[in-house]
Amino acid sequence: MKGSVQLLGPTYEFQFLDQHLILDASKAFFWKEENALVVADLHLGKAGHFRKHGVPIPREVHVTDFQRLNSLISDYTPDRILFLGDLFHSDSNEEWLDFVTWSNHHKDVEQILIEGNHDILDADSYQQTCMKLAARYQAGPFLLTHEYEESEYYNISGHVHPCVYLRGLARQGARLPCFHFGVSSALVPAFGEFTGSHAIRSKKSDQFFAIGDGQLIGLMG
């Protein structure tokens, strides 16, 4: 598929470094070997944080986030969920209580938060939940962190909310969130609805899976 755009459907099983990753168009992936669902940058509570500062963002934004998360859990029945950081946007607000409820509801699933720069809640807050905290997560060939870290392992991180810009004839273009697999590291798109995105530059031999229209689109840089 080098040099082309391929519509791959709502999920795509990507074999990479002898691992099986099911990339999902709802901006998460399921890691078969670890039986883990990997989700980055939810930024829950962002709407509440804005409201607290006088910007009226509807709460429903995060309700959708939870709904999407729930359907992923029922689709893949993972043993664990790895949150790649920036789970909660800022200081506590009442939307945290929604998460506490959600977390306890899914107590059968191991929940691990690889802490990100936005995760500034104190340890007490997490005690109300089933969440375990970690700085990084290593298994198989991968090292999972929030921000990119150099190591002997292949790094998978979130943080940048990656997207790509596609161009077509007649000045057509589209900006799409994406998974990005480079030579030594990969980026996972932001899961949260109420988040922005950052265009990343493509290099030769990079592989992209953009998301649009509920579909994964395979691209080679």
Partner 1 sequence: MNDHLAPAYKWFKKKKWQPFPFQEKAWKAYLDGKSGLLNAPTGSGKTYALWIPCVLEFLRDHSPEEVTPEVRVLWVTPLRALAKDIQRAMQEVCDDMDLRWEVGLRTGDTTSGQRQKQKKKAPQALVITPESIHVLLSQSDYPNFFKNLKAIIVDEWHEILGTKRGVATELAISRLKALNGSGLKVWGISATIGNLPQAKRVLLGEDFYKDAVTIRADLNKEVLVESVLPDEVEKFPWTGHLGTKLLPKILPIINRSKTTLLFTNTRSQTELWYQALLKFAPELSGVIAMHHGSMDHDIRGWVEDALHAEKLKIVVCTSSLDLGVDFRPVDTVIQVGGPKGISRFFQRAGRSGHQPGATSKIYFVPTHSLELVEGAALRESIGEKKFESRKPLQKSLDVLIQYLVTLAVSGGFKPLQILEEVKSTYCYRLLNATEWQWCLEFITTGGKTLGQYDEFAKVYNDDGIYKIINKKAATKHKLSIGTIVGDPALKVKFITGGHVGTIEESFISRLNSGDCFWFAGRNLEFVRIKDLTVLVRKSNKKSGLTPQWMGGRLPLSSMLADKIRQKFEDSVSGIYADIEMQTIKPILELQAKWSEVPTRKRLLIEKTKTRFGHHIFMYPFEGMFVHEVLGGVIAMRISRIQPISFSISMNDYGFELLSDQEIPIEEALELDLFSEENLFPDIQESINMTEMAKRKFRDVATIAGLIFQGYPGKGIRAKHLQASSGILYKVFEEYDQENLLIKQSMEEVLTLQVEHSRLLEAIRRINQQKIVLKETIKPTPFAFPILVDMFRRQNLTSEQLSDRIAKMQLQLERVANKQS
Q: Which residues bind partner 1 (CB under 8 A)?
A: 2-5, 7, 46-61, 89-90, 93-94, 118, 166-174, 176, 193-196, 204, 210, 212-213, 215, 217, 219-221
Report the residue count for the chain: 221
Structure tokens at 46: 């962002």
Q: Which single residue is written with the structure tokens 């996972």?
A: 188
- Nearer CB in complex with partner 1: 68/144: 68
Closest to partner 1 by CB, 10 vs 140, is 10
- Minimal distance, residue 2 CB to partner 1, in Å: 8
Give me 130's structure tokens. 């089933």
- Residue 132 or 175: which CB sits closer to partner 1? 175
Beta strands in 89-204 (DSSP E): 110-114, 131-134, 137-139, 142-144, 154-157, 162-167, 173-181, 185-187, 198-199
Q: CB of 57 within 8 A of CB of 49? A: no
Q: How far is the CB of 198 from partner 1 (least distance, A)?
A: 11
Which residue, 156 or 219, has its beta carbon nearer to partner 1?
A: 219
Write down the least CB distance from residue 156 to partner 1, Å.
24
In the complex, the smallest distance separating the C-beta of residue 217 from partner 1, rounded to whole angstroms, is 6
Other CB atoms within 10 A of residue 180 CB: 23
